[in-house]
Amino acid sequence: MKTKAYGYLRVSGKSQIEKDGFPRQEAAITQYAKAHGIDIVKLFKEEAVSGTTDETARPAFQEMVSDILKNGVRLIIIEGLDRLAREYRIQETLLIYLASKGIDLINARTEENVTRAIIADPMKKALIQIQGVFAELEKSLLVKKLKDARKRKRDKTGKCEGRKSYREIAPEIIEELKKLRRKPKGSISKRMSYAAIADALNEKSYRTADGKVFTANNVAVILHRQKNRG
C-alpha cells in the first residue's frame, strides 16, 4: 500500500500565480513522490502569500493541516524550504508546529525529511515537546470553558445540548399536528391515523426539521414527545 502525502506549494506575489512557479513546484513534488512510491492525495496552493508570514496568515496551510489531523495523512512534500518560508525564523516555527502534530515534511530538492532532522536536535526537540504541552493545556482549558458555559445555560434555561424541539423551531407544525389528531367533539368517527396526518401535512407543504416529507413514524414520534412533555 502506497504512503499518502499532500503537496504544499507557495508563490509570494499575484503576478507569479500565472507563471511557472506552481508548475515547477508541482513537477518537483510529483517526481519525488513517484521515485519513492508515494501517492499525492492533494495539492495545496498558497497564492500570493509572503514567505515571511506565519501559519495564521496562510489559508492553504491551515486547510492542509486541518485535513491531515482528520484523515490520517502524515506527510507533506514541498519543492524546497524556501517554498515553506524564506525567513529562517518562520521556517523553524512552522516546522516545530508540524513536528508537534506528528507530521513529516519532505524537501523534494534535497530529499531530506526535515521534520526528523529537527527532532534529532535536542534543543528543537524540547521546543516541540513544550509546544505539545501548551497545545494540550489549551485544549483542556477550551473543553473546561465549553463545559462551564453549557452548565450555566442548563442552569438558566434547563436545556443546552441536543437538537431543538419542533416546539422551538416550528410551533405551527405542533399546532397543526394536534388539530389534525384531535377527535372532533360529538363525532363517532375515529381519530386520523398517523399516515393520514402525514399526508395532510405534506399536502400543506410542511416539512420535517431535516427538510424531508412527513411519514407516519415522524408524526407518531413528535406527538409522543409532545405528550410526554405535557
Per the listing, cell 423551531 goes with 169
Dihedral pair phi/psi, residue 76, rounded to 5°: -125, 135
State pTM to two decimals.
0.53
Cβ atoms within 10 Å of 166's Cβ, excluding its own: 18
Dihedral pair phi/psi, residue 79, rounded to 5°: -65, -45
Q: Which helix (H) or strand (E) holds 82?
A: helix 81-84
Domain edges within the chain? 3-127, 166-229
N-terminal to C-terminal alpha carbon distance within the chain: 58
From the list 70, 21, 69, the residue with the least C-alpha distance to 47 is: 21
Alpha-helix runs per DSSP H in 101-121: 114-120
From the list 90, 82, 45, the residue with the least C-alpha distance to 63 is: 45
Q: What class, spelled out in words, does domain 3-127 have in CATH? A: alpha beta
pLDDT of residue 141: 64
Q: For residue 77, what is its C-alpha cell?
A: 512534500
118-148 b/e with 16+ CB inside 10 Å = b? bbeeeebeebbeebeeeeeeeeeeeeeeeee
pLDDT tens string for the chain (230 positions)?
Answer: 789 999 999 887 766 666 788 899 999 999 999 999 999 999 998 886 765 665 567 788 888 888 887 777 899 999 988 888 777 777 778 888 888 888 899 999 889 888 888 777 776 666 555 554 554 555 566 667 777 777 777 777 665 555 566 666 678 888 888 888 776 665 556 777 888 888 888 888 888 877 778 888 878 888 877 776 65
From the list 174, 173, 181, 213, the residue with the least C-alpha distance to 197 is: 181
